[in-house]
Amino acid sequence: MLVRKGRNMQKLTVFFILCLICSFAVAENPIIKHIYTADAAAHVFNGRVYVYTTHDTNDANYFDTVDWHVFSSDNLENWTDHGAIFSLDDISWANKWAWAPDCAERDGKYYFYYPVERTKMGVAVSDKPTGPFKDAIGKPLIDNAIEPFAGPEPIDPAVFIDDDGQAYLYFGCRELRIVKLKENMIERKGDLHEVKIIDKEGTTLKWKDNPEIKENIQKKFGGDGVFGEAPWVFKYKGKYYMLYSNGWASDSTLIYGISDDPMGPFTYMGKVMTPVDCWTSHGSIIKFREYWYIFYHTMELSKNNYRRCICVDRLVFNEDGTIKITTPTKQGVSLK
Ligand code: FUB
């Protein structure tokens, strides 16, 4: 009898220890491990987080990507892969390089913006955030062969919808562009414009390669705050914040600027993250429930710059509205 009681006590203890471990369980970076993913564009749609990504292939030795995936979660720990929501096979006018996408919602429809071939961008539409998406216009929305002002590489679309309902499409590589979208989200409204990034003295920061400087990206490409790629715009306390990458080198990372106007100019404010072990920096920022989060990618799973993996960490603002520099964590975030 005594022996049985002892065993029951032991079982109960083990059970309580397991419960304790589970209640302390936290998410872990990278958040997606079964496939390679990059360029996380996170959104909260109907109270759930959706992350739209480039899908790096298993044997990639370049950004030779063919489709895009979306992942969703209601706790930032358990993620559902909704599969390939759109692919090059769904586009009649493009054959290669399915790069960093974004998605926006208007009146219950979801609009998926995507760059292809480093020269063009399109828009697809679905009734659900998880697709499947269909090419909405059967041709590019932006094409630098027709419109050289779109810049040398019109990639990395990012859509921001302001409180008054106006949608803005940002994009570019080394040169940042913007165009307003019509209410229908699939047509442009007005001309393309340059978005300027300025330093605190008001000087415009332009990309310029200085081949003599090998190491320091800030000096090599035109000074602190110069625009590389990966724009992402959000609003915080009435100001417009632009997250972007300052280029490609061991010291490159995600940085940001602030503006009073979504059209810019954005004043360069500093780093958002310390550099990660990856040649590209591309991320997004959202508010989910009471906290802010930054999504980004590393190459931790593969140690290969073309086989990346997305991560998430908390983002913290200082009292004055500046952003505290995030150091990427292994444990990620948990809502518990
Ligand atoms: O994923 C391909 C390209 O790498 C993206 O378009 C860039 O932002 C960089 O992350």
Among protein residues, the one whose CA lies closest to atom 1 of ligand 1: 99
pTM over 0.75: yes
What's the one-letter identity of residue 288?
F
Q: How far apart are CA 8 and CA 65, in angstroms?
A: 55
Give the residue with greater pLDDT, 286 vs 18: 286
- For residue 280, give the ligand 1 atom closest to its CA: 10
Q: Assess contact for 293 and 312: CB atoms under 8 A.
A: yes
Of residues 90, 117, 229, 313, which has the active-site annotation?
Answer: 229
Of residues 39, 135, 156, 313, which has the active-site annotation?
Answer: 39
Among protein residues, the one whose CA lies closest to atom 9 of ligand 1: 280
- What is the best residue among 39, 253, 296 to mutate for testing ligand 1's pocket, by most ligand atoms within 8 Å of CB? 39
* 100 CA from centroid of ligand 1 (Å): 5
Looking at the chain, the whole-number percentage of residues with pLDDT higher than 70 is 92
Q: How far apart are CA 318 and CA 235, in angstroms?
A: 15
- Condensed to tens digits (0 to 9), the pLDDT of residues 35-89 reads 999 999 999 999 999 999 999 999 999 999 999 999 999 999 999 999 999 999 9
- Condensed to tens digits (0 to 9), the pLDDT of residues 109-136 reads 999 999 999 999 999 999 999 999 999 9
DSSP 152-204: S-----EEEE-TTS-EEEEEEESEEEEEEE-TTSSSEEEEEEE--EE-TT--B
* 38 CA from centroid of ligand 1 (Å): 8
* 164 CA from centroid of ligand 1 (Å): 30
Report domain 31-315's class: mainly beta
What is the per-residue pLDDT for 12?
47
- What is the best residue among 56, 229, 243, 276 to mutate for testing ligand 1's pocket, by most ligand atoms within 8 Å of CB? 229
What is the per-residue pLDDT for 20?
41
What is the per-residue pLDDT for 21?
41
Question: Is the pLDDT reported for residue 218 higher than 90?
Answer: no
What is the per-residue pLDDT for 13?
52
Give the residue with greater pLDDT, 124 vs 18: 124
- pLDDT band at 223; cut points 50, 70, 90: confident
What is the per-residue pLDDT for 27?
73
Q: Which two tokens stand for residue 280?
A: 């590209």
Question: Is the pLDDT reported for residue 305 higher than 60?
Answer: yes
- Condensed to tens digits (0 to 9), the pLDDT of residues 261-291 reads 999 999 999 999 999 989 999 999 999 999 9
The pLDDT of 136-142, averaged and rounded, is: 98
* 225 CA from centroid of ligand 1 (Å): 19
- 67 annotated active-site: no
* 280 CA from centroid of ligand 1 (Å): 7
- pLDDT band at 215; cut points 50, 70, 90: confident
For residue 219, give the H/E element and its range. helix 217-220
Among protein residues, the one whose CA lies closest to atom 3 of ligand 1: 99
* 305 CA from centroid of ligand 1 (Å): 11
- pLDDT band at 250; cut points 50, 70, 90: confident
Question: Is the pLDDT reported for residue 184 higher than 70?
Answer: yes
What is the per-residue pLDDT for 11?
55
What is the per-residue pLDDT for 270?
96
Among protein residues, the one whose CA lies closest to atom 5 of ligand 1: 100
The pLDDT of 142-158, averaged and rounded, is: 98
Average pLDDT, the chain: 92
- For residue 230, give the ligand 1 atom closest to its CA: 8
- 163 annotated active-site: no
What is the per-residue pLDDT for 251?
86
- For residue 155, give the ligand 1 atom closest to its CA: 6
Q: How far apart are CA 223 and CA 205, in angstroms?
A: 7
Among protein residues, the one whose CA lies closest to atom 4 of ligand 1: 280
User: Is beta strand 266-271 parallel, antiparallel or unpaired with respect to 197-198?
Assistant: parallel
